[in-house]
Structure 1
Amino acid sequence: MRKRYAAALACVCVLGIGGCGKDQETLEQQMTLRSQGMDQALSGDYESAIASYNEALSLAGMRAGNLELDIASYKAAAQYHAGDLQGAADTCTAVLDLKKSAEMYLTRGLIYKAAGDTEAANADFQAAKDMTSSKDLITLGRLSYYMEDYNGAKDYLEQAYENGEQESLYWQGELYWQMGNKDYAVTLYQSYLEEHTDHPDIYAKVASYQMDQGDYESALSVIQDGIALGDSESLQELLSYEIAVYEQMGDFATAKVKMESYLESYPDDEGAAREYVFLKTR
């Protein structure tokens, strides 16, 4: 459940940045720690990222300007990815107590949804919707999708595409994938990938679909394109798919080499360890 909303969280949690009257040295320290935390989160080291964000926030004293709210937003995302859903929700609540924003209601709603609290999630999604401009069709479409108003989401996203907003292709793909129409969802994903690489989660979905169809060569190409992006959230899944594709193609020697590399990075994957025992006999 958490993985479904990981990519979505990357699309929110960003507020405007301002200095709030602090001295230049403090501002530069905070910005450095913010950048450090972002790099740590990108590499998958979420605990270190949280520590960097906390240090940046501690420099603010009693001040809470846009920069502090922005850093707190990134902290919430890192807590989410680290598995601390309650901590992430609490951080969002602290931000909302200081400044109401559609972005933060959306963020907290995604966290509640990942935690299985549909009622709280929908309340936040509705609050975000109430604060969203009628011109922001993609956000309105996303919020409708999260609230499982699929017809409403479809209308918003199709209108956004008609207005030239390519991002709507990704969210339409998400919508149709969730509705079970994977054939059309993959067509939308592939159209989006022709010009965009900012949603790494697409690669795993397209590859899994192609594997189910027995199109292993196409799946391998998509998987390797996704791996090349180096996204920490999708990398493990893509690497495991790569091994599975080589096995299905009968290339057990390459699958074994890939598995050895995989286990160096993910030694706690017991299923992979068992599969490695099998590969050593091939």
Structure 2
Amino acid sequence: MCKECKNVIKRLAGATLGLTLCLGLLSACGSKTTQQMEEKKEAGITAMQSADYKTAVESFDAALQLSGAKVDANVVDICFYKAAAEYAQGNLKEAIAVYDSIVDYDETDYRPCFLRGSVYLNEGEKEKAIKDYEEAVKRAGSNYELYILISQNLKASGMEDEGDNFLDEALALEGKSGEDYLGKGRIYLEQGDYKQAIEYLQTAVEKKTSDAKVYLAETYEASGDSDSASKLLAEYVKEEKPSAEALALLGNMEIKAGNYDKALEYYQEGIKKEDDTAMQDLLKGEIVALEYTGDFSSAKEKMTEYLAKYPTDQAALREQTFLQTR
């Protein structure tokens, strides 16, 4: 092995792993097989499921050492896992270093900005969190879902005004497409303004926007009009193929209605679609449904997997403590 590669590997194993190192500086020795890399990645995920985060980090580092010069989504995914494992074991500096690398590597990816901002928020670094959240929405464009998630995070941390500011910013976005009406309808629903939400969501339905009927049904339910909600949902399921996002909402509504087996069915059907935009809600919903059905063993296993992907979810961290006693 050449001296340069030895130095790179040494740096890869350290706390300040850089994504550029992961992607391009091992080519002089040639890359290992994709299978070996995947095995190390899976070993890291398995370690995380057992809350053995130190071993997880070591496995992810080993996987990254095998990446060679190939740039692909899997390498970035491993870096996300490593950041989660570092943060889960309390290594804030190391987790931030990995997120820094991903942020710098791809200036179009909003996810590392959002996740790093959430880490800062959980650590009380509010100004840094806001800065990262602002960068995330800048990169994401008209991503109403992201605005809602950021607002929810901020409000959960006692930053009500800042959370409202992000919702107001979303409402100020220009656009008259069905997706714009859907997004703004969801914002009004989040704010509890059901009249405005219904108006916007009805327009989204008229524009034949995917899943608009589901959100409109949710708004009807929230406003106390259960009959309209049930009628609209029945129509939706009959006429359309539910998206992952819609299946998450359907699962949530079944949970509220006490139909836990049906809710679990919706969540698991949505997870199979492998849609990142709805995956967090689907995975969290699946855990809730498993708990309600009494399958605490599966819920505990799924919670560990969930926290590996979303380590900054404080509510989930508290729920994990509960599940450890079951």
* C-alpha separation in 2, matches of 1:151 and 1:108: 24
8 A contact 1:161–1:169 mirrored in 2: yes
Shift of the alpha carbon at 1:261? 5.2
Task: Give the 3-state SS of the residue equivalent to 1:131 in structure 2.
Answer: coil
Match of 1:184 in 2: 228
Counterpart among 233, 236, 243 of residue 287 in structure 2:
236
* C-alpha separation in 2, matches of 1:179 and 1:220: 25
Matched, 1:167 2:215: no
Matched, 1:84 2:127: no
Q: After alignment, is 117-126 or 99-108 more displaced?
A: 99-108
Match of 1:129 in 2: 171
* C-alpha separation in 2, matches of 1:76 and 1:193: 37
Matched, 1:206 2:248: no
Counterpart among 156, 180, 189 of residue 114 in structure 1:
156
8 A contact 2:154–2:160 mirrored in 1: yes
Shift of the alpha carbon at 1:239? 0.8
Task: Give the 3-state SS of the residue equivalent to 1:180 in structure 2.
Answer: coil
* C-alpha separation in 2, matches of 1:264 and 1:161: 38
8 A contact 2:151–2:166 mirrored in 1: yes
Inter-CA distance 164–34: structure 2 relative to 1 (3 Å threshold): same
* C-alpha separation in 1, matches of 2:163 and 2:194: 16
Match of 1:55 in 2: 98
Alignment of 1:1-282 (within 5 A): 25=24, 31-36=73-78, 47=87, 54-55=97-98, 57-58=100-101, 65-67=107-109, 69-76=110-117, 79=119, 84=122, 90-96=128-134, 100=138, 101-103=141-143, 105-135=147-177, 136-193=180-237, 195-199=241-245, 200-211=248-259, 220-227=261-268, 229=270, 231-243=282-294, 258-259=295-296, 262=299, 268-269=321-322, 273=326
1:94-129 CA distances to partner (integer Å, 9 max, x unpaired)?
Answer: 352697455465543232233354332222211222
* C-alpha separation in 2, matches of 1:152 and 1:239: 35
Q: After alignment, is 185-194 or 167-176 more displaced?
A: 185-194
Shift of the alpha carbon at 1:162? 0.7
* C-alpha separation in 1, matches of 2:170 and 2:74: 30
TM-score relative to the length of structure 1: 0.58
- Identity %, equivalent residues: 14
* C-alpha separation in 2, matches of 1:59 and 1:112: 23
8 A contact 2:218–2:253 mirrored in 1: no
* C-alpha separation in 2, matches of 1:28 and 1:89: 36
Task: Give the 3-state SS of the residue equivalent to 2:219 in structure 1.
Answer: helix
Match of 1:246 in 2: none
* C-alpha separation in 2, matches of 1:57 and 1:233: 27
Inter-CA distance 272–32: structure 2 relative to 1 (3 Å threshold): closer
8 A contact 1:30–1:59 mirrored in 2: no
8 A contact 1:73–1:92 mirrored in 2: no
Inter-CA distance 66–156: structure 2 relative to 1 (3 Å threshold): same
The amino acid of 2:288's aligned partner reads E
Structure 1: give runs of 5+ residues left out of the alignment: 1-23, 212-218, 244-257, 274-282
